[in-house]
Structure 1
């Protein structure tokens, strides 16, 4: 694995630890501490995600135009400013403004990270993106566990901890990421007018696949939106809820040796991995339908995690393969935007459904939607096949 990818792994880990101090607890803070409804909490998280969609597109554009280092640095500086303001002022309505700012600045970073990973280790295939995926989820395992402990002491300390980790990430970017521009700008220089001459098949393919991605993250976002508050209503503590994310993060690392034989066997059968991932996510929704205790929620999280490890790392790999030369950042921005759109719609849709019909109705709808989302995964490359023929 190239040294550049290792630096990306470390940076992703630090960034995610800091970010995961806050995002799993947003709904709880808005609902329980600021006294707003779940629907209102969903709208706030929607605005955060909407800002993230624009941030994803800007991040991909910046990678293609000014290089990976500058794109990431711009995102991190804006992120530091946003969380600093949120740490000082986190009452209503300032919370909405600063959380939206964090969504935009955080969205800039990830398309550049994935684009650099694909450029730095093109022969790595799935491994480069899986490494970033693992780093992200180890951060998810550690961050929420620490956040639950910190929040039980005093919720205000969560914002300070978030700020600390973003500051560490800023120092890491400033000291080690400058060399990444040689990778991204070299990729750009190879493109000339080639991208302009490409047909529309790749953009059609990634757009179709993005439909499944939106549905996947609409469902996944319920864990940090409606499910978080639902567990509190069932009598679970913040520490227990945070432990669910620790299970998720640790399992993602622990199951790698278990799934490796199947992933190796299906190395060229990308659709098999996508379909299996969505089916497992659908099953996790059914388990939540019946859940009334920590053990049941933990079981649902375990099944969800297995689905995640098959589905999620494949998406940036497909985007990297489909992207014309010089447009890697743009394509990574597109798939990250689809992820963020799912996160944007999810809290509002979930909060509305739970407020009107209850959690069980929401889980049935999401389970069915995840099965339907298999269709785009099966047909996304038809336009490519026609173009090749």
Structure 2
């Protein structure tokens, strides 16, 4: 396969996170240009060939790393060495824990051209937490070499609080007295053969803020120079559809429900719905969303939203395999040195289902 001088994004893993991320990047490449997309499957299985073919049809370039089995199924491929020599960004979307173990590998000479390494999912020691737009300042002047795109539920918790400030997350300290989150987790992903739990399973607290969900959100805010008072608890239930977050906020001043709904409506990455079950919300995304996904950080069922002066209670559903992608794409653009301008942001906002 011929080489190209256009800078590349090197994607590792094509599962429930990697495949839609690769697909979105290929859509952006074909629409706006400016980069190539190299795809390295993780231990390719015969059953995964159709999804790889769909990436090749969009213009992706498949990579054989010498042991992932690509050459057993595809007559045309590019070597890992050549792909990395043309790349500036690595996105590691491999199974949980794999990216953390690869940090030493990423210091090898073969990766010398890479400007930024981006891990997806629960890779908490990989680098600082990152989510867009809150963490955008981290990538402006002296960006870190390694970043960890925050988990899906961290994106949703941040989305719950985003309507309460106008420009900078630091403004939360002016209005928010305390936040409490209860995360009702799905157990198995629809695309995996994971076993279901047989009944509600407690997620144990691990810090003064409770479960890891609250700790991760405050890690995001800590990198921006502030923290808020919050707590989180969680339980896993036998559902394959969506995580659901119950929130209770105490504010320093009174607001109205109309004010809050207008703030949610004006945020390009937050959604509302009249549906009251996560299977219905999930199904609506499957039927109407690009690649069957919703892409917003949080989906608010409006009929369950309660505003009583300084008290706010409600629910937010987490689009678990899609709400991290816009954050990842922003980081990719920064690593490539490309402008994340109005056209790109408008296009990405357009794939969000604002009303689910």
The TM-score by the shorter chain falls in which range?
A: under 0.3
Q: What TM-score, normalized to structure 1?
A: 0.25
User: More strand per residue: 1 or 2?
Assistant: 2
User: More helix per residue: 1 or 2?
Assistant: 1
Q: What TM-score, normalized to structure 2?
A: 0.27
Higher RCO (CA < 8 A, seq sep 6+)? 1
